[in-house]
Structure 1
Amino acid sequence: SATNLSCTTKLTNLFLLVRGRFSVVKRCDHQGTKRTVAVKQVNKKLMRRDRVTQELNLLQRLQHPHIVSLIDTYETPSSYALVLEMADQGRLLDYIVSWGNLTEEKVACYLRNVLEALHYLHNCRIVHLDVKPENLLVAHTASGQPTVKLIDFGDAVQLNSAHYVHPLLGSPEFASPELVLGEPVSLTSDLWSLGVVTYVLLSGASPFLDESAEETCLNICRLDFSFPRDYFQGVSQAARDFVCLLLRTDPGRRPPAGLCLQEPWLQAGLGDGRARAEGCLDTSRLISFIDRRKHQTDARPIGGPLLPHQCDHSRQKQEKLDTPQFVVQC
């Protein structure tokens, strides 16, 4: 378990990695373990102690190869600090762009890693509620293979009741319809977000993003997305079907993470993965996607949730989309 430490004697060579809504993350050397670690410093003026304690309590219980592990904690006059395992290859999208040669097989491998993390969390009745590209990091294993790790449990909660409503903060780009509508979230809220991430990985485009946050929210609730030919040229039907499987308006109709792992398109090896396209995916749009996200602030609240009547035809459209013809059309 995490214990207090003196940051002046134990941590050196601090280097800013990323600045978030309520915190900054720095890379530094942990003298006690001789490891390079990531330190998440949460601003006390912006975040209540009980919120930080909630994240800390969750992280202390979690141990999984695809979840960044907590090493230590400490407190300064201005911040609460979490000392975390360092994912040495940085964010997943940056890694993909820098290495190039992205294939559906690689996308499926990255998604399997995330689904294994979600399967573990959901078995503990924990929902992450902030699955997005920035919260997926890459580390190299001893053999040099990339492995994806899920980070940032600031929004995560243990679902002890069926009526937890989560506030929508910042961009709704990866938020599920129930979150946008101010309805109770479920474990499969994470699967919707992963569906959006999958769409982004395959195309470099965002399925629901519009001119304003409100329009984006409406697109989400109305399930208003498509697979433009220009963006999805060379992407297999099986990959598109997997996106459609996760992007279902009704949380109860989304498959749980464990079932997703059994999907043929996600299977490792040649046998079950033959439906995957063989060629390289176009990653040029990912560069502008990354740039836009870096300059986008997630600090402001969206405002009140959309009212159900504003999205009244979303369920109707969902029924239409869930017919077998949708698998062919999308």
Structure 2
Amino acid sequence: SGQFAIVRKCREKSTGVQYAAKFIKKRQSRASRRGVSRDEIEREVTILQQVLHPNIVELHDIYENKTDVVLILELVSGGELFDFLAQKESLSEEEATRFIKQILDGVNYLHSKKIAHFDLKPENIMLLDKNIPIPHIKLIDFGLAHKIEDGVEFKNIFGTPEFVAPEIVNYEPLGLAADMWSIGVITYILLSGASPFLGETKQETLANITAVNFDFDEEFFSNTSDLAKDFIQRLLVKDTRKRLTIQEALCHPWITVRLDKETSPLKEETKVQENKKVENPQLKTKRLREYTIKCHSSMPPNNTYADCERFARVLEEVSCAERGCGALAVSHSSLQEDMDVLLSIYNEKEAWYKEENESVRRKLSQLRYECRKIEALQRHLQDEIVAVDISVAGMSGRYMDLQGHYESLRQELAEELKWIQDLMSSFQLENEACVNGNCDSVFGEDVKESLMELLNRSRCEEFLAGLNVGVAESHQ
């Protein structure tokens, strides 16, 4: 597990095979410094998909969720190499050579594909199974690995200070040679239990690296062969052009001679060095154990088998607790991110509601103003209706008065007409008497014309009076 990754054991349901699930926390935004960027995750995945070697951890599958990318990797359950060696009662140089040879084989495969690991250190050198005499080594953690392309300059400052090459510290162009420097540091520690450049502070460590300030202290290397020292010296070279390449390291006599079963001119030197080592076989493992305890693990100071077994169980329980805490931390982080998202959504909704509320308030204010206008208009119409009602009532009274006046005029006219008719009847009788009595006809005609004129005038006045009444009613 690292700063932004946690590893858990998992099992494939269909086959029952166990794997290691590496949960890599994704960076949620470009501005955020939490998590790993997608480009870096994709680079690691691409490199793992390109490699297949016995000494390199194998990628089985990939999954992704909202917060993590999950790499399903080959389960490497033997622990770290240095933890394993620190538990041994003794360590021969030949055994150390076999482990270094496996590391070189894995790096040789990577370099053949122009891939630089850039993070070779004891924590990333694991054992597939520690219960065999010479366990199988696996290189893990390709988070910093890069493919070196011809003509493309690559610079970066990364890695663990104790193991980085001078070109990384000086921010110079990087290549495959950086891994060879790290192998030299690992070999130095493996054979002596001491770190060649480790200082009291990070700055002191980096200064020792850039100055290539190291030596083979007799206290630590009294039982180490000259070939081993030469191997280290030719790796810890500042000039990358003079530093051993992976092929040259594999062909170095310390590697080839130690692994050669046949008789060779260097066989006698090998035996002499081994005899020297037998004089104090536990010296290296004791110092290596001290170094491991100090820098790379939490192994207890005592080294009895029983204590180690008990401590291993305690470590397993602690590991389970750490995994639980890690899962809790991941859940807390995920919950915190979800809360941040919900808070952001709430703030957005709140701003939207405020804006909508202001809009509704303005609309309600406009509606209240319109309602007040309508109410004023209604009151004005009611006043108009009352005035019209009063006017209609006055007109109705006037109409009744005119109707009564008209009725009285009609009655008077009817009486006058009746009087005239009676008068005409009497004149008609007199006229007949005059005719029979031979009265003067001129007199009769004059009287008749006078009466007709009076009658016509009375009718004309009646008609005009009726006409005036009708005009007045129509006007009202």
TM-score > 0.5 by shorter chain = yes
Deviation for aligned residue 1:227: 1.1
Deviations 1:121-180 (A, max 9, x none): 1111111100111110112499864111111110000111351002225x4100000001
Deviations 1:256-305 (A, max 9, x none): 11121111111213445734432335211222322333479xxxxxxxxx
Q: 2:19 aligns with which of 34, 37, 54?
A: 37
1:177 maps to what in 2?
Answer: 166
User: 1: CA distance between counterparts of 2:284 and 2:179?
Assistant: 26
1:163 maps to what in 2?
Answer: 153
User: 2: CA distance between counterparts of 1:32 and 1:266?
Assistant: 43
TM-score, normalising length from structure 2?
0.55
User: 1: CA distance between counterparts of 2:39 and 2:80?
Assistant: 28
1:233 maps to what in 2?
Answer: 222
| Identical aligned residues as a percent | 35
Contact 1:59/1:70 (8 A) holds in 2: yes
Deviation for aligned residue 1:86: 1.4
User: 2: CA distance between counterparts of 1:253 and 1:190?
Assistant: 14
Q: 1:269 aligns with which of 254, 260, 273?
A: 260
2:118 maps to what in 1?
Answer: 129
Deviations 1:217-242 (A, max 9, x none): 11111110011111112111111111
User: 2: CA distance between counterparts of 1:83 and 1:151?
Assistant: 13
1:216 equivalent in alignment to 2:205: yes
Deviations 1:157-210 (A, max 9, x none): 0111351002225x4100000001000111111000000000000011110010
Deviation for aligned residue 1:34: 2.1
Contact 2:23/2:70 (8 A) holds in 1: yes
User: 1: CA distance between counterparts of 2:293 and 2:23?
Assistant: 24
Select the structure of larger CA radius of gyration. Answer: 2
TM-score, normalising length from structure 1?
0.79
Q: 1:260 to 1:295 in 2, by over 3 A?
A: closer
Q: 1:143 to 1:94 in 2, by over 3 A?
A: closer
Gaps of 5+ in 2: 28-34, 299-476
User: 2: CA distance between counterparts of 1:159 and 1:233?
Assistant: 39
User: 2: CA distance between counterparts of 1:148 and 1:114?
Assistant: 7
1:56 equivalent in alignment to 2:45: yes
Deviation for aligned residue 1:98: 2.3
Q: Which amino acid aligns with 1:42?
A: I
Q: Which structure has greater helix proportion?
A: 2
Q: Which amino acid aligns with 1:220?
A: I
Contact 2:166/2:210 (8 A) holds in 1: yes
Gaps of 5+ in 1: 1-18, 297-330
1:284 maps to what in 2?
Answer: 286
User: 1: CA distance between counterparts of 2:131 and 2:201?
Assistant: 44
Q: 1:145 to 1:199 in 2, by over 3 A?
A: closer
Q: How many residues align?
A: 277
Contact 1:162/1:184 (8 A) holds in 2: no
User: 1: CA distance between counterparts of 2:14 and 2:239?
Assistant: 48
Higher RCO (Cα < 8 Å, 6 or more apart): 1
